[in-house]
Amino acid sequence: DAMVIQNPRYQVTQFGKPVTLSCSQTLNHNVMYWYQQKSSQAPKLLFHYYDKDFNNEADTPDNFQSRRPNTSFCFLDIRSPGLGDAAMYLCATRKDRATPGQYFGPGTRLTVT
């Protein structure tokens, strides 16, 4: 089945130790998104790509970086995780401008110790 896959589902990292979360899609969608969701809060958009064009939200901390080496893969790098970065990280895709719905991955729950 075509889908959005996130690995790992659970990630534990130490305070200040860089961590990378990955997302892949078999949908061949042009747009890929990263959201951060903390407990009882709305998913918050961190950044998105339209193809290779990167769009950063103004309030996304510099500590968060992203890479999209090809259509299928997108990575979220947290350079120096703090305790406040513990959250669920959601990857999503969207086909194109004409198709507004998003497809979500299952999420990666990040714990910072």
| Interface ranges with another protein (CB under 8 A) | 4, 31, 33, 35, 40-45, 48, 50, 55, 57, 90, 92, 94, 97, 100-107
Cα separation of 75 and 66, whole Å?
A: 5
**H-assigned helices in the chain:** none
In this complex, which beta carbon is closest to another protein, that of residue 45 or of residue 86? 45
62, burial (CB in 10 Å: exposed 0-12, middle 13-18, buried 19+): exposed
Considering the complex, what minimum distance in angstroms separates the CB of residue 68 from another protein? 14
Considering the complex, what minimum distance in angstroms separates the CB of residue 54 from another protein? 12
Considering the complex, what minimum distance in angstroms separates the CB of residue 112 from another protein? 23
In this complex, which beta carbon is closest to another protein, that of residue 43 or of residue 81? 43
Residues sharing a CB contact under 8 Å with residue 68, sequence separation 6 or more, in sequence order:
32, 49, 52, 54, 74, 75
